[in-house]
Structure 1
Protein backbone atom coordinates (compact mmCIF):
# COMPACT_ATOMS: atom_id res chain seq x y z
CA UNK A 1 0.00 0.00 0.00
CA UNK A 2 1.27 3.44 -0.90
CA UNK A 3 0.71 6.02 1.79
CA UNK A 4 0.71 9.69 0.88
CA UNK A 5 1.01 12.09 3.81
CA UNK A 6 0.29 15.63 2.61
CA UNK A 7 0.93 17.41 5.90
CA UNK A 8 0.51 16.71 9.61
CA UNK A 9 -2.70 17.54 11.41
CA UNK A 10 -2.72 21.04 12.82
CA UNK A 11 -2.33 21.07 16.60
CA UNK A 12 -2.94 23.82 19.11
CA UNK A 13 -2.01 24.49 22.74
CA UNK A 14 -1.74 21.35 24.84
CA UNK A 15 -3.93 22.71 27.60
CA UNK A 16 -6.71 23.55 25.17
CA UNK A 17 -6.44 20.27 23.33
CA UNK A 18 -6.77 18.32 26.54
CA UNK A 19 -10.34 19.53 26.68
CA UNK A 20 -10.82 18.83 22.97
CA UNK A 21 -10.56 21.77 20.63
CA UNK A 22 -11.23 22.02 16.95
CA UNK A 23 -10.47 24.42 14.08
CA UNK A 24 -12.74 23.21 11.34
CA UNK A 25 -12.24 25.59 8.49
CA UNK A 26 -8.98 27.42 8.92
CA UNK A 27 -8.54 31.00 7.68
CA UNK A 28 -7.25 30.07 4.23
CA UNK A 29 -8.32 26.56 3.24
CA UNK A 30 -6.23 25.08 0.41
CA UNK A 31 -7.60 25.00 -3.13
CA UNK A 32 -7.73 21.41 -4.35
CA UNK A 33 -9.60 19.44 -6.99
CA UNK A 34 -9.63 16.05 -5.30
CA UNK A 35 -12.53 13.67 -5.89
CA UNK A 36 -13.30 11.23 -3.07
CA UNK A 37 -16.49 9.79 -4.59
CA UNK A 38 -14.88 6.38 -5.15
CA UNK A 39 -12.99 4.67 -2.36
CA UNK A 40 -13.21 3.70 1.29
CA UNK A 41 -13.16 6.06 4.25
CA UNK A 42 -11.54 5.09 7.56
CA UNK A 43 -12.41 7.01 10.73
CA UNK A 44 -9.44 7.47 13.07
CA UNK A 45 -10.64 8.36 16.57
CA UNK A 46 -7.36 10.03 17.50
CA UNK A 47 -5.44 10.16 20.81
CA UNK A 48 -6.10 12.03 24.03
CA UNK A 49 -4.88 15.58 23.52
CA UNK A 50 -4.93 15.16 19.75
CA UNK A 51 -7.46 15.20 16.93
CA UNK A 52 -9.50 12.67 15.04
CA UNK A 53 -8.83 12.29 11.32
CA UNK A 54 -10.34 10.65 8.25
CA UNK A 55 -8.29 8.47 5.89
CA UNK A 56 -9.40 7.85 2.30
CA UNK A 57 -8.31 4.55 0.73
CA UNK A 58 -8.38 3.74 -2.98
CA UNK A 59 -8.64 -0.06 -3.35
CA UNK A 60 -7.89 0.14 -7.08
CA UNK A 61 -4.29 1.27 -6.60
CA UNK A 62 -3.69 0.78 -2.86
CA UNK A 63 -3.20 4.48 -2.18
CA UNK A 64 -4.15 5.90 1.22
CA UNK A 65 -4.60 9.64 1.74
CA UNK A 66 -4.28 10.65 5.38
CA UNK A 67 -6.35 13.42 7.00
CA UNK A 68 -8.53 14.30 4.03
CA UNK A 69 -10.51 16.77 6.16
CA UNK A 70 -7.33 18.69 6.97
CA UNK A 71 -6.21 18.62 3.35
CA UNK A 72 -9.46 20.03 2.03
CA UNK A 73 -10.23 22.50 4.80
CA UNK A 74 -6.95 23.52 6.42
CA UNK A 75 -8.20 22.69 9.91
CA UNK A 76 -8.85 19.84 12.34
CA UNK A 77 -11.95 17.91 13.33
CA UNK A 78 -11.26 17.87 17.07
CA UNK A 79 -10.84 15.13 19.63
CA UNK A 80 -12.44 11.70 19.18
CA UNK A 81 -13.93 11.28 15.71
CA UNK A 82 -16.25 8.32 16.17
CA UNK A 83 -18.14 7.67 12.95
CA UNK A 84 -18.89 8.85 9.42
CA UNK A 85 -22.14 8.34 7.50
CA UNK A 86 -23.26 9.55 4.08
CA UNK A 87 -26.71 10.74 3.06
CA UNK A 88 -27.90 12.68 0.01
CA UNK A 89 -24.43 13.72 -1.09
CA UNK A 90 -23.25 14.83 2.33
CA UNK A 91 -21.00 13.26 4.96
CA UNK A 92 -21.85 13.46 8.66
CA UNK A 93 -18.96 13.02 11.11
CA UNK A 94 -19.69 12.48 14.81
CA UNK A 95 -16.91 14.12 16.86
CA UNK A 96 -17.51 13.22 20.49
CA UNK A 97 -14.83 15.34 22.16
CA UNK A 98 -16.21 18.61 20.80
CA UNK A 99 -19.90 17.60 20.83
CA UNK A 100 -20.38 18.29 17.13
CA UNK A 101 -21.77 16.68 14.02
CA UNK A 102 -19.53 17.96 11.22
CA UNK A 103 -21.11 18.11 7.75
CA UNK A 104 -18.97 17.82 4.59
CA UNK A 105 -19.52 17.40 0.87
CA UNK A 106 -19.36 13.69 0.02
CA UNK A 107 -17.33 14.17 -3.18
CA UNK A 108 -14.90 16.95 -2.25
CA UNK A 109 -14.93 16.55 1.56
CA UNK A 110 -15.17 20.33 1.87
CA UNK A 111 -16.66 21.62 5.11
CA UNK A 112 -20.34 22.62 4.88
CA UNK A 113 -21.69 23.07 8.40
CA UNK A 114 -21.68 21.92 12.01
CA UNK A 115 -24.62 20.73 14.07
CA UNK A 116 -24.22 21.63 17.73
CA UNK A 117 -26.22 21.02 20.89
CA UNK A 118 -25.22 17.35 21.00
CA UNK A 119 -23.60 15.68 24.01
CA UNK A 120 -21.01 13.02 23.12
CA UNK A 121 -22.52 12.12 19.71
CA UNK A 122 -21.81 8.60 18.46
CA UNK A 123 -23.64 7.57 15.27
CA UNK A 124 -25.86 9.07 12.56
CA UNK A 125 -28.92 7.37 11.06
CA UNK A 126 -30.95 9.03 8.31
CA UNK A 127 -34.70 8.39 8.36
CA UNK A 128 -35.67 10.14 5.13
CA UNK A 129 -34.65 13.20 3.13
CA UNK A 130 -35.75 15.53 5.91
CA UNK A 131 -34.73 13.95 9.20
CA UNK A 132 -32.03 11.88 10.87
CA UNK A 133 -31.22 10.66 14.38
CA UNK A 134 -27.90 10.88 16.22
CA UNK A 135 -27.17 8.67 19.22
CA UNK A 136 -25.46 10.42 22.13
CA UNK A 137 -24.07 9.32 25.49
CA UNK A 138 -24.85 12.43 27.53
CA UNK A 139 -22.51 14.31 29.86
CA UNK A 140 -21.77 11.36 32.13
CA UNK A 141 -21.56 8.73 29.39
CA UNK A 142 -24.60 7.03 30.91
CA UNK A 143 -27.63 9.29 30.37
CA UNK A 144 -28.25 8.17 26.78
CA UNK A 145 -30.61 9.52 24.15
CA UNK A 146 -31.11 10.00 20.42
CA UNK A 147 -31.42 13.49 18.95
CA UNK A 148 -33.71 14.10 15.98
CA UNK A 149 -32.07 16.40 13.43
CA UNK A 150 -33.88 18.52 10.84
CA UNK A 151 -31.60 18.10 7.82
CA UNK A 152 -32.94 21.23 6.14
CA UNK A 153 -32.00 23.53 9.02
CA UNK A 154 -29.34 21.35 10.72
CA UNK A 155 -31.06 21.90 14.05
CA UNK A 156 -32.06 19.50 16.83
CA UNK A 157 -35.85 19.32 17.04
CA UNK A 158 -36.38 16.48 19.54
CA UNK A 159 -34.42 14.42 22.08
CA UNK A 160 -35.67 10.94 23.02
CA UNK A 161 -34.21 9.13 26.08
CA UNK A 162 -32.82 5.61 25.54
CA UNK A 163 -30.77 3.13 27.53
CA UNK A 164 -27.20 3.78 28.63
CA UNK A 165 -24.52 4.49 26.03
CA UNK A 166 -26.55 4.25 22.80
CA UNK A 167 -24.50 3.35 19.75
CA UNK A 168 -25.64 2.30 16.28
CA UNK A 169 -29.25 2.42 15.16
CA UNK A 170 -31.32 0.30 12.76
CA UNK A 171 -34.35 1.53 10.80
CA UNK A 172 -36.61 -1.53 11.09
CA UNK A 173 -39.42 0.06 9.10
CA UNK A 174 -40.79 3.52 8.36
CA UNK A 175 -42.15 3.84 11.90
CA UNK A 176 -39.61 1.97 14.03
CA UNK A 177 -36.03 2.74 15.00
CA UNK A 178 -33.94 0.28 17.03
CA UNK A 179 -31.07 1.57 19.19
CA UNK A 180 -28.26 -0.58 20.62
CA UNK A 181 -27.47 0.45 24.21
CA UNK A 182 -23.86 -0.47 24.99
CA UNK A 183 -23.77 0.92 28.52
CA UNK A 184 -21.38 3.78 27.79
CA UNK A 185 -19.23 4.19 30.91
CA UNK A 186 -21.54 1.79 32.76
CA UNK A 187 -23.20 -1.52 31.83
CA UNK A 188 -26.22 -2.16 29.61
CA UNK A 189 -27.45 -4.98 27.39
CA UNK A 190 -30.66 -3.63 25.89
CA UNK A 191 -32.22 -2.49 22.64
CA UNK A 192 -34.45 0.59 22.71
CA UNK A 193 -37.49 0.50 20.42
CA UNK A 194 -38.38 4.01 19.22
CA UNK A 195 -41.78 4.78 17.69
CA UNK A 196 -41.05 7.40 15.05
CA UNK A 197 -44.68 8.54 14.91
CA UNK A 198 -45.06 9.34 18.61
CA UNK A 199 -41.30 9.99 18.91
CA UNK A 200 -41.05 8.00 22.14
CA UNK A 201 -39.27 4.91 23.41
CA UNK A 202 -42.05 2.31 23.51
CA UNK A 203 -40.06 -0.61 24.91
CA UNK A 204 -36.61 -1.80 25.89
CA UNK A 205 -35.54 -5.38 25.17
CA UNK A 206 -32.72 -7.20 26.94
CA UNK A 207 -30.37 -9.18 24.69
CA UNK A 208 -28.22 -12.13 25.68
CA UNK A 209 -24.81 -10.53 25.31
CA UNK A 210 -23.32 -7.52 27.04
CA UNK A 211 -22.73 -4.10 25.52
CA UNK A 212 -24.61 -4.43 22.19
CA UNK A 213 -23.26 -1.90 19.74
CA UNK A 214 -24.49 -2.59 16.21
CA UNK A 215 -26.94 -4.40 13.92
CA UNK A 216 -26.67 -6.51 10.77
CA UNK A 217 -29.32 -7.86 8.42
CA UNK A 218 -29.49 -11.62 7.92
CA UNK A 219 -28.37 -12.31 4.33
CA UNK A 220 -28.63 -8.55 3.76
CA UNK A 221 -32.41 -8.87 3.34
CA UNK A 222 -35.48 -8.61 5.52
CA UNK A 223 -36.41 -6.31 8.35
CA UNK A 224 -35.20 -8.38 11.30
CA UNK A 225 -31.58 -7.66 12.27
CA UNK A 226 -28.88 -9.50 14.18
CA UNK A 227 -27.47 -7.63 17.17
Structure 2
Protein backbone atom coordinates (compact mmCIF):
# COMPACT_ATOMS: atom_id res chain seq x y z
CA UNK A 1 0.00 0.00 0.00
CA UNK A 2 1.32 3.45 -0.94
CA UNK A 3 2.24 5.66 1.96
CA UNK A 4 -0.12 8.62 2.42
CA UNK A 5 1.71 11.94 2.43
CA UNK A 6 1.08 14.28 5.35
CA UNK A 7 1.87 17.98 5.52
CA UNK A 8 1.52 20.88 7.89
CA UNK A 9 -1.51 23.00 7.02
CA UNK A 10 0.50 26.24 7.04
CA UNK A 11 3.12 24.81 4.69
CA UNK A 12 0.55 23.33 2.32
CA UNK A 13 -1.62 26.44 2.06
CA UNK A 14 1.43 28.69 1.70
CA UNK A 15 2.68 26.55 -1.22
CA UNK A 16 -0.77 26.91 -2.81
CA UNK A 17 -0.53 30.70 -2.70
CA UNK A 18 -2.94 31.42 0.14
CA UNK A 19 -0.34 33.50 1.97
CA UNK A 20 2.84 33.25 3.99
CA UNK A 21 2.99 30.72 6.81
CA UNK A 22 2.38 33.47 9.34
CA UNK A 23 -0.64 34.66 7.36
CA UNK A 24 -2.01 31.11 7.24
CA UNK A 25 -1.45 30.83 10.99
CA UNK A 26 -3.63 33.90 11.48
CA UNK A 27 -6.25 32.42 9.15
CA UNK A 28 -6.40 29.35 11.38
CA UNK A 29 -6.81 31.43 14.51
CA UNK A 30 -9.57 33.39 12.78
CA UNK A 31 -11.48 30.12 12.25
CA UNK A 32 -11.66 30.27 8.46
CA UNK A 33 -9.84 26.97 7.74
CA UNK A 34 -12.08 23.92 8.06
CA UNK A 35 -11.69 20.22 7.33
CA UNK A 36 -14.82 18.07 7.24
CA UNK A 37 -16.68 21.11 8.64
CA UNK A 38 -14.42 21.25 11.74
CA UNK A 39 -12.19 24.27 12.27
CA UNK A 40 -8.41 23.87 12.12
CA UNK A 41 -7.29 26.52 14.58
CA UNK A 42 -3.69 25.29 14.74
CA UNK A 43 -2.15 25.69 11.26
CA UNK A 44 0.90 23.71 12.40
CA UNK A 45 -1.26 20.58 12.44
CA UNK A 46 -0.29 17.85 9.99
CA UNK A 47 -3.04 16.43 7.78
CA UNK A 48 -3.19 13.69 5.16
CA UNK A 49 -2.86 15.12 1.65
CA UNK A 50 -5.29 12.87 -0.21
CA UNK A 51 -6.99 13.43 -3.60
CA UNK A 52 -10.33 14.16 -1.91
CA UNK A 53 -8.90 17.00 0.19
CA UNK A 54 -10.24 19.83 -2.05
CA UNK A 55 -13.76 18.43 -1.49
CA UNK A 56 -13.29 18.28 2.29
CA UNK A 57 -11.33 21.43 3.13
CA UNK A 58 -12.67 24.96 2.88
CA UNK A 59 -10.94 28.31 3.19
CA UNK A 60 -13.26 31.08 4.31
CA UNK A 61 -16.19 28.99 3.10
CA UNK A 62 -14.73 28.26 -0.35
CA UNK A 63 -13.48 24.87 -1.55
CA UNK A 64 -9.73 24.35 -1.44
CA UNK A 65 -7.93 24.95 -4.72
CA UNK A 66 -6.69 21.93 -6.72
CA UNK A 67 -3.66 20.17 -5.27
CA UNK A 68 -0.25 19.94 -6.93
CA UNK A 69 -0.43 18.34 -10.37
CA UNK A 70 -2.89 20.82 -11.85
CA UNK A 71 -3.23 20.92 -15.65
CA UNK A 72 -5.11 23.81 -17.26
CA UNK A 73 -6.33 24.17 -20.83
CA UNK A 74 -6.63 27.79 -21.97
CA UNK A 75 -8.12 29.11 -25.19
CA UNK A 76 -5.48 31.81 -25.53
CA UNK A 77 -6.59 35.17 -26.94
CA UNK A 78 -4.51 37.28 -29.30
CA UNK A 79 -2.22 39.82 -27.66
CA UNK A 80 -1.47 37.73 -24.58
CA UNK A 81 2.16 36.85 -23.79
CA UNK A 82 3.27 33.43 -22.49
CA UNK A 83 5.56 34.84 -19.81
CA UNK A 84 5.81 35.65 -16.12
CA UNK A 85 7.89 38.80 -16.67
CA UNK A 86 7.41 40.39 -20.10
CA UNK A 87 5.48 43.61 -20.57
CA UNK A 88 1.90 43.65 -21.74
CA UNK A 89 -0.93 41.28 -20.86
CA UNK A 90 0.56 38.08 -19.43
CA UNK A 91 -1.11 34.71 -19.83
CA UNK A 92 -1.06 34.06 -16.08
CA UNK A 93 -3.41 36.98 -15.40
CA UNK A 94 -6.35 34.79 -16.45
CA UNK A 95 -5.78 32.60 -13.37
CA UNK A 96 -6.80 33.42 -9.79
CA UNK A 97 -4.21 35.76 -8.26
CA UNK A 98 -3.02 33.27 -5.66
CA UNK A 99 -2.37 30.62 -8.33
CA UNK A 100 0.50 32.79 -9.53
CA UNK A 101 2.14 32.34 -6.13
CA UNK A 102 1.95 28.53 -6.06
CA UNK A 103 4.99 26.31 -5.54
CA UNK A 104 5.82 24.48 -7.77
CA UNK A 105 5.11 27.33 -10.16
CA UNK A 106 2.47 27.00 -12.86
CA UNK A 107 4.12 27.33 -16.28
CA UNK A 108 3.02 27.14 -19.89
CA UNK A 109 3.67 23.93 -21.81
CA UNK A 110 5.67 25.48 -24.61
CA UNK A 111 4.61 28.87 -25.92
CA UNK A 112 2.32 30.54 -28.38
CA UNK A 113 3.55 33.91 -29.61
CA UNK A 114 1.63 37.08 -28.87
CA UNK A 115 -0.16 37.05 -32.24
CA UNK A 116 -1.13 33.35 -32.10
CA UNK A 117 -4.37 32.24 -30.46
CA UNK A 118 -5.80 28.90 -29.40
CA UNK A 119 -5.04 25.87 -27.29
CA UNK A 120 -2.25 26.08 -24.73
CA UNK A 121 -1.70 24.13 -21.53
CA UNK A 122 -0.38 25.33 -18.17
CA UNK A 123 0.81 23.02 -15.40
CA UNK A 124 2.87 22.73 -12.24
CA UNK A 125 3.78 19.14 -13.14
CA UNK A 126 7.33 19.44 -14.45
CA UNK A 127 7.57 15.81 -15.52
CA UNK A 128 4.41 16.07 -17.61
CA UNK A 129 5.52 19.38 -19.11
CA UNK A 130 8.84 17.93 -20.27
CA UNK A 131 7.18 14.77 -21.57
CA UNK A 132 4.82 16.81 -23.76
CA UNK A 133 7.50 19.07 -25.23
CA UNK A 134 10.15 16.36 -25.58
CA UNK A 135 11.05 15.73 -29.25
CA UNK A 136 10.86 12.00 -28.47
CA UNK A 137 7.14 12.27 -27.69
CA UNK A 138 6.40 13.72 -31.15
CA UNK A 139 3.17 15.27 -29.90
CA UNK A 140 1.32 16.66 -32.91
CA UNK A 141 0.42 20.36 -32.84
CA UNK A 142 -2.28 21.39 -35.29
CA UNK A 143 -2.85 24.97 -36.45
CA UNK A 144 -5.22 26.83 -38.75
CA UNK A 145 -3.26 29.39 -40.76
CA UNK A 146 -4.67 32.31 -42.75
CA UNK A 147 -2.29 33.54 -45.44
CA UNK A 148 -1.62 36.87 -47.09
CA UNK A 149 -1.41 35.35 -50.58
CA UNK A 150 -2.93 32.31 -52.30
CA UNK A 151 -1.14 29.00 -51.81
CA UNK A 152 1.25 28.16 -54.62
CA UNK A 153 0.16 24.51 -54.74
CA UNK A 154 3.48 22.88 -53.81
CA UNK A 155 3.29 23.46 -50.06
CA UNK A 156 1.85 20.05 -49.14
CA UNK A 157 4.72 18.24 -50.86
CA UNK A 158 7.33 20.71 -49.59
CA UNK A 159 6.27 20.47 -45.95
CA UNK A 160 5.98 16.67 -46.09
CA UNK A 161 9.39 16.21 -47.68
CA UNK A 162 11.50 16.30 -44.53
CA UNK A 163 13.97 18.43 -46.49
CA UNK A 164 12.72 21.97 -45.81
CA UNK A 165 15.42 24.14 -44.22
CA UNK A 166 14.56 27.29 -42.29
CA UNK A 167 16.89 30.28 -42.14
CA UNK A 168 19.36 29.93 -39.28
CA UNK A 169 18.60 26.26 -38.59
CA UNK A 170 21.24 23.55 -38.86
CA UNK A 171 18.98 20.69 -39.92
CA UNK A 172 15.84 20.27 -42.00
CA UNK A 173 12.36 20.09 -40.52
CA UNK A 174 10.64 16.81 -39.77
CA UNK A 175 7.82 16.04 -42.21
CA UNK A 176 4.67 18.07 -41.55
CA UNK A 177 1.13 17.64 -42.86
CA UNK A 178 -0.82 20.32 -44.69
CA UNK A 179 -4.50 20.27 -45.64
CA UNK A 180 -5.81 23.02 -47.89
CA UNK A 181 -9.02 24.70 -46.71
CA UNK A 182 -9.12 27.47 -49.31
CA UNK A 183 -6.59 29.29 -51.46
CA UNK A 184 -5.57 31.42 -48.47
CA UNK A 185 -6.30 29.07 -45.55
CA UNK A 186 -4.74 25.77 -44.48
CA UNK A 187 -4.53 23.30 -41.59
CA UNK A 188 -0.95 22.38 -40.72
CA UNK A 189 0.27 19.75 -38.24
CA UNK A 190 3.84 19.67 -36.93
CA UNK A 191 5.62 17.43 -34.42
CA UNK A 192 8.45 19.84 -33.60
CA UNK A 193 8.40 23.06 -31.63
CA UNK A 194 10.93 25.31 -33.29
CA UNK A 195 10.79 29.08 -32.81
CA UNK A 196 7.88 30.56 -34.82
CA UNK A 197 7.99 27.35 -36.84
CA UNK A 198 4.70 27.56 -38.75
CA UNK A 199 5.20 31.21 -39.68
CA UNK A 200 8.75 30.49 -40.86
CA UNK A 201 7.61 27.48 -42.88
CA UNK A 202 5.17 29.55 -44.90
CA UNK A 203 7.76 32.32 -45.22
CA UNK A 204 10.15 29.74 -46.70
CA UNK A 205 7.39 28.88 -49.19
CA UNK A 206 7.09 32.55 -50.18
CA UNK A 207 3.99 33.43 -48.18
CA UNK A 208 3.08 35.25 -44.98
CA UNK A 209 0.82 34.11 -42.13
CA UNK A 210 -1.67 36.80 -41.16
CA UNK A 211 -3.61 34.73 -38.57
CA UNK A 212 -2.59 31.60 -36.67
CA UNK A 213 -4.74 29.56 -34.30
CA UNK A 214 -3.76 26.30 -32.59
CA UNK A 215 -6.69 23.89 -32.75
CA UNK A 216 -5.25 20.67 -31.31
CA UNK A 217 -2.45 19.27 -29.19
CA UNK A 218 -2.16 15.54 -29.83
CA UNK A 219 -5.70 14.20 -29.41
CA UNK A 220 -6.77 17.17 -27.26
CA UNK A 221 -8.86 20.01 -28.66
CA UNK A 222 -10.57 23.12 -27.33
CA UNK A 223 -13.91 22.11 -25.78
CA UNK A 224 -17.05 23.14 -27.63
CA UNK A 225 -18.32 26.47 -26.38
CA UNK A 226 -15.04 27.55 -24.72
CA UNK A 227 -14.65 31.21 -25.62
CA UNK A 228 -11.36 32.98 -26.15
CA UNK A 229 -9.79 33.73 -22.75
CA UNK A 230 -11.64 30.93 -20.94
CA UNK A 231 -9.87 28.00 -19.26
CA UNK A 232 -10.68 24.65 -17.66
CA UNK A 233 -8.98 22.09 -15.46
CA UNK A 234 -8.19 18.80 -17.19
CA UNK A 235 -8.95 15.35 -15.83
CA UNK A 236 -6.66 12.33 -16.23
CA UNK A 237 -8.39 11.05 -19.38
CA UNK A 238 -8.07 14.46 -21.05
CA UNK A 239 -4.37 14.55 -20.20
CA UNK A 240 -3.84 11.05 -21.59
CA UNK A 241 -5.42 12.13 -24.90
CA UNK A 242 -2.51 14.52 -25.49
CA UNK A 243 -0.38 11.52 -26.38
CA UNK A 244 -2.99 9.95 -28.64
CA UNK A 245 -3.14 10.45 -32.37
CA UNK A 246 -5.54 13.04 -33.71
CA UNK A 247 -8.77 11.03 -34.31
CA UNK A 248 -8.92 12.48 -37.82
CA UNK A 249 -5.60 10.74 -38.56
CA UNK A 250 -6.55 7.33 -37.20
CA UNK A 251 -7.38 4.50 -39.58
Task: Report the TM-score, using the length of structure 1 for normalisation.
Answer: 0.26
Greater strand share, 1 or 2? 1
Greater helix share, 1 or 2? 2
Task: Report the TM-score, using the length of structure 2 for normalisation.
Answer: 0.24
For the pair shown, which has the larger CA radius of gyration, 1 or 2?
Answer: 2
